[in-house]
Amino acid sequence: MNPHAEEIHGGIDYQEFRELGLHPKDVIDFSSNIMPFGPSPEVVRSLHELVIDRYPDRDGYELRCALAQHHAIGISRIMLGNGCSELIHLAAMSWIKPGMNVLVLGPTFSEYARASKISGGVCTEVSVFNSWSDSPTVAVLEYIQSQSPDVVWLCNPNNPTGHYLDTGQLESLFEAMPQIKFIVDESYLDFVQNGASLFCRCYPNLIVLRSMTKYYAMAGLRLGYLSCTESTMKLLMERRVPWSVNGAALIAGTAALNSLPYYRNAMEKLRQTNQSLTQALKRIGLQPSDSSTPFFLVPVDNGKRTREQLLKNRILVRDCHSFGLENMIRISTQTEALNEQLLLALRT
Ligand SMILES: Cc1ncc(COP(=O)(O)O)c(C=O)c1O
């Protein structure tokens, strides 16, 4: 029994694989939402410069400068983290006090509720994204206004549904309800065509989180970053773990920002393969949900069983029961050749 089983995420469960006699290399992973074309050659090359017998820059100055330029924002409003996951917990630790009412609009990434509860927040998890609606933003805004919680988590675009929220309307809400603190996770925003970021926006009641593990395909290195006002930054600095971002992640992060054309090109290819895959799934009688991202939900009889059956064919999909969606799987588009293998397995 895996003592960490409570924390259910996509990706490979190494213990499960060992028990099943599977080697991670032999399984095609459709369960993690990571750029399938891999990191840029510059990122790979940069790692040869890694010095491992020296502490990394605790403040990640060079990478923060590159991010400041990329997002047109002052460097003092940017903090790096050991993946967005670390920053989710740091934001919760800094803003959520015991007894505060915390609203998680879901189904969504489970760490928001987990981090809120660890900090003593009274967490309400509400499903607003269960069906694809023309206007998910309106549903979200209405719910927040009716509840008026102390803290709200928003995932934009949302994992696992791929809903994208209109940032203009969100900004009106930040202004209209300054008593509510908003933590917006933009980990998948770079996958959205014409997605608008709140990263450079400055509101005392806003923290924006981003991940570099997904779009830049560096999940193994662990790298995320956030923006907030300078006074919120003080709270975060008081609580953060020093040197949490390692030297490899710092070097690779800077190299990734120096190779944006590679990623833009990869994203263009991914958009095309995503379209071909969703069309092919429809041709075999499945109904992939509309999504603003290259990951999407697919209704099945039983998500857990479908995952198990596909794993026998060395294909891993995300069974969505932990999101409260028992009859859904989440699929992240891979390369064309790998998608063909998924289609073959699903047909049989
Ligand atoms: C919405 C969302 N935010 C954050 C994370 C974690 O990102 P990172 O790998 O940067 O810790 C995930 C991982 O699945 C996620 O789905």
SS3 assignment, position 331 = strand
Distance 285 CA to ligand 1 centre (A): 31
Q: 41-257, which class in CATH?
A: alpha beta
**How many residues belong to the chain?**
348
SS3 assignment, position 8 = coil
Q: How many CA atoms lie within 13 A of 103 on its CB side?
A: 22
**Residue 20 pLDDT class (50, 70, 90 cuts):** confident
- Is residue 291 within 8 A of residue 298, CB to CB? The reply is no
Q: Can you give the pLDDT at residue 3?
A: 47
- The contacts of residue 243 (CB under 8 Å, 6+ apart) are 55, 56, 58
Instruction: State how far the Cα of 130 lies from the Cα of 12, in Å rounded to an integer.
Output: 26
Q: From the CA of 187, give the closest atom in ligand 1.
A: 3
Q: Can you give the pLDDT at residue 29?
A: 96
Residues 73-96, mean pLDDT to the nearest whole number: 98
In the chain, residues under CATH classification 3.90.1150.10 are 14-39+260-347
Q: Is the CB of 185 within 6 Å of ligand 1?
A: yes
Distance 187 CA to ligand 1 centre (A): 6
Q: Is the CB of 213 within 6 Å of ligand 1?
A: yes
Q: Can you give the pLDDT at residue 1?
A: 40
- Average pLDDT over all residues of the chain: 94
Cis, peptide link before residue 157, omega less than 30° from 0: yes
Which of 85, 153, 155, 188 to mutate for ligand 1's pocket (most ligand atoms within 8 Å of CB)? Answer: 85
- The contacts of residue 168 (CB under 8 Å, 6+ apart) are 196
Instruction: State how far the Cα of 238 lies from the Cα of 236, in Å rounded to an integer.
Output: 5
Distance 348 CA to ligand 1 centre (A): 32
Residue 338 dihedral angles phi and psi, to the nearest 5°: -70, -40
- pTM score, whole prediction: 0.95
* Nearest residue to 112 (alpha-carbon basis) of 217, 189, 182: 182
Q: From the CA of 212, give the closest atom in ligand 1.
A: 10
Q: Can you give the pLDDT at residue 133?
A: 60
Percent pLDDT > 90 in the chain is: 86
Q: Is the CB of 187 within 6 Å of ligand 1?
A: yes
How would you class 162 by CB atoms within 10 Å of its CB: exposed for 0-12, middle for 13-18, buried for 19 or more?
Answer: buried
- The contacts of residue 149 (CB under 8 Å, 6+ apart) are 101, 102, 103, 124, 180
H or E, element range at 275: helix 260-283
Q: From the CA of 223, give the closest atom in ligand 1.
A: 10
Q: Can you give the pLDDT at residue 105?
A: 94
Distance 222 CA to ligand 1 centre (A): 10
**Residue 131 pLDDT class (50, 70, 90 cuts):** low
Task: Kindly report, residue by residue over 186-216, the tens digit of the pLDDT.
Answer: 999 999 999 999 999 999 999 999 999 999 9
SS3 assignment, position 122 = strand
**Is the domain covering 14-39+260-347 a CATH 3.90.1150.10 domain?**
yes
Residues 289-311, mean pLDDT to the nearest whole number: 96
Distance 214 CA to ligand 1 centre (A): 8
pLDDT at position 44 over 60: yes
Instruction: State how far the Cα of 76 lies from the Cα of 68, in Å rounded to an integer.
Output: 9
Task: Kindly report, residue by residue over 217-260, the tens digit of the pLDDT.
Answer: 999 999 999 999 999 999 999 999 999 999 999 999 999 999 99
Distance 85 CA to ligand 1 centre (A): 6
The amino acid that residue 153 corresponds to is W
Tokens of residue 113, six digits: 């509720």
Q: From the CA of 85, give the closest atom in ligand 1.
A: 11
* Nearest residue to 94 (alpha-carbon basis) of 239, 202, 191: 239
Q: Can you give the pLDDT at residue 168?
A: 94
pLDDT at position 130 over 80: no
**Residue 24 pLDDT class (50, 70, 90 cuts):** confident
Instruction: State how far the Cα of 117 lies from the Cα of 188, in Å rounded to an integer.
Output: 24
Residues 87-98, mean pLDDT to the nearest whole number: 98
- The contacts of residue 227 (CB under 8 Å, 6+ apart) are 71, 73, 77, 78, 199, 200, 207, 208
Q: Can you give the pLDDT at residue 139?
A: 85
Q: Can you give the pLDDT at residue 135?
A: 79
Pick the residue whose CA is nearest to atom 15 on ligand 1: 109
How would you class 326 by CB atoms within 10 Å of its CB: exposed for 0-12, middle for 13-18, buried for 19 or more?
Answer: middle
Residues 86-103, mean pLDDT to the nearest whole number: 98
Tokens of residue 174, six digits: 């930040």
Distance 347 CA to ligand 1 centre (A): 31
Handedness of CA 47, 227, 115, 153 (dihedral sign): negative
